[in-house]
Amino acid sequence: MKVLITGVNGLLGQKLLSIFCKNKDCSFDIVAVSRGRARFDGSYKQLKYYDLDITHREQVFNIIHLEKPDVIIHAAAMTNVDYCESHQEDCWEVNVQSVVHMLQAAEAYNSFFVHLSSDFVFAGDKRFLTEEDKPHPINFYGQSKFQAEKFVLKSRVPHAVIRTAVVYGIAHKMSRSNIIFWVKRNLEDGKSIRVVDDQYRSPTLAEDLATGCYLIVQKQSTGIYNIAGGEVLTPYEMAIKIADYFGLDKSLITRTDASEFVQPAKRPLETGLVIDKAKFELGYQPHSFDQGVAILASQLDEEYCLTKG
Ligand SMILES: NC(=O)c1ccc[n+]([C@@H]2O[C@H](COP(=O)([O-])OP(=O)(O)OC[C@H]3O[C@@H](n4cnc5c(N)ncnc54)[C@H](OP(=O)(O)O)[C@@H]3O)[C@@H](O)[C@H]2O)c1
């Protein structure tokens, strides 16, 4: 089976390469695409890499016509929510228009299209959201993800839409930050941090999200799936758990609320994702947040050993 994965220089893209290239049960031909040169673990042998800007319709068509993938996993996106708010045309090109290009090109081969979406399609007025809840985005990033979902759900190719939230993990050469590094670094430096306690999220280990995508491809499951961690936590609760795990001084963490932060894009308050459908239909079993922190800590140790030679 030939699987084309977009956004392989990003966090999820890297975890997808790891799971699809290393899995021994199935054999996949992997076509990896991202913008610019390949910036991921270069040890995979059986993959082909293309430098592709997904906003370029002709390039998208050329690569899909050349490779004729059975499956496309679309992980590339403009993910900086505040940047999307202030660069709306660019955001629309990357997050919406590129999806239209890919869906149209995929029609010729009836490729199974797996699309990554976000909890930010919701307004933030409900803590536990199922696949049946109606989106109502309150920022431009959310609007772009919701419009892309609509194109996917209306398309003629078989498709799945995956909604996820607060994805944390370690990318190649530590190229992505996350709440765990931020809390750990500040507390280790003895700095106080103010962390919001009125936003509810489902933090998701990047490896778990990649596993969810893998299960969907394996079972060719169609429709909408929430693929996230199994707990709904506030950033403050996450920070306390992180401090506990690393044995850091919790008194440096001050509880605050979202009204204290002025950001270009509004954030939905409550967006916990219910993952029962993925558990029952796919056998998806994510790690707890505590386990996720421990996994990242061990990966940090490995990364430290590698950089020390
Ligand atoms: N991270 C989260 O907390 C989160 C939460 C909810 C949903 N999601 C969704 O999950 C998916 C994966 O997110 P992620 O965390 O892996 O994001 P990420 O680390 O930001 O990766 C996104 C990748 O897309 C690439 N990209 C951006 N514009 C492109 C273009 N014009 N052409 C080709 N590639 C382009 C980026 O390239 P560069 O490396 O060159 O910038 C990057 O490698 C996205 O659809 C995102 O919306 C993520």
**Per-residue pLDDT tens for 171-184?**
887 767 899 999 99
What atom in ligand 1 is closest to the CA of residue 53?
Answer: 32
Ligand 1 touching residue 53 (CB < 6 A):
yes
Q: How far is the centre of ligand 1, averaged over its atoms, from the C-alpha of 78 (Å)? A: 6
Which one of 139, 167, 176, 225 would you pick to mutate in the ligand 1 pocket, going by the greatest count of ligand atoms within 8 A of its CB?
167
**Residue that is written with structure tokens 């996820």 in the block:** 164
Ligand 1 touching residue 142 (CB < 6 A):
no
Ligand 1 touching residue 209 (CB < 6 A):
no
**120 close to 149: Cβ distance less than 8 angstroms:** no
Going by pLDDT thresholds of 50, 70 and 90, the confidence category of residue 43 is confident
Q: What's the pLDDT at 22?
A: 79
Q: How far is the centre of ligand 1, averaged over its atoms, from the C-alpha of 34 (Å)? A: 10
User: Which tokens sit at 84?
Assistant: 């999307």
What atom in ligand 1 is closest to the CA of residue 209?
Answer: 10
CA distance 247 to 258: 27
User: Mean of the pLDDT values across residues 294-302?
Assistant: 91
Q: What's the pLDDT at 128?
A: 97
Ligand 1 touching residue 167 (CB < 6 A):
yes
Q: What's the pLDDT at 209?
A: 98
Q: Would you state the CATH architecture of domain 2-171+202-231+274-289?
A: 3-Layer(aba) Sandwich (3.40)
User: Mean of the pLDDT values across residues 258-279?
Assistant: 95
For atom 32 of ligand 1, the residue with the nearest CA is 53
Nearest residue to 181 (alpha-carbon basis) of 169, 190, 167: 169
Ligand 1 touching residue 202 (CB < 6 A):
no
User: Mean of the pLDDT values across residues 284-296?
Assistant: 98
Which one of 16, 35, 80 would you pick to mutate in the ligand 1 pocket, going by the greatest count of ligand atoms within 8 A of its CB?
35
User: Residues 218-264: pLDDT tens digits?
Assistant: 999 999 999 999 999 999 999 999 999 999 999 999 999 999 988 99
Region of residue 136 (phi > 0: left; psi between -120 and 50: alpha; otherwise: beta): beta
Q: How many degrees, rounded to 5, is the angle at CA 45 between CA 50 and CA 6?
A: 35
Ligand 1 touching residue 114 (CB < 6 A):
no
Going by pLDDT thresholds of 50, 70 and 90, the confidence category of residue 307 is low
Ligand 1 touching residue 94 (CB < 6 A):
yes
Residues 6+ apart with CB under 8 A from 274: 128, 129, 130, 226
Q: What's the pLDDT at 301?
A: 81
Q: What's the pLDDT at 308?
A: 55
Ligand 1 touching residue 55 (CB < 6 A):
yes
Q: What's the pLDDT at 42?
A: 72
4-18, 44-58, 91-105: least confidently modelled range: 44-58
Q: What's the pLDDT at 176?
A: 76
For atom 43 of ligand 1, the residue with the nearest CA is 10
* Mean pLDDT score across all residues of the chain: 94
What atom in ligand 1 is closest to the CA of residue 141?
Answer: 47
Which one of 12, 87, 225 would you pick to mutate in the ligand 1 pocket, going by the greatest count of ligand atoms within 8 A of its CB?
12
What atom in ligand 1 is closest to the CA of residue 12?
Answer: 16
Determine what percent of the chain is predicted with pLDDT higher than 90.
Answer: 88
Ligand 1 touching residue 57 (CB < 6 A):
no
Going by pLDDT thresholds of 50, 70 and 90, the confidence category of residue 305 is low
Q: Tell me the C-alpha to C-alpha distance, in Å, between residue 29 and each of 47, 72, 108, 192.
A: 7, 12, 19, 48
Ligand 1 touching residue 11 (CB < 6 A):
yes
Q: How far is the centre of ligand 1, averaged over its atoms, from the C-alpha of 95 (Å)? A: 9
**What are the sequence ranges of the domains in the chain?**
2-171+202-231+274-289
Q: How many other β-carbons are positioned within 10 Å of the β-carbon of residue 76?
A: 27
Q: What's the pLDDT at 306?
A: 56
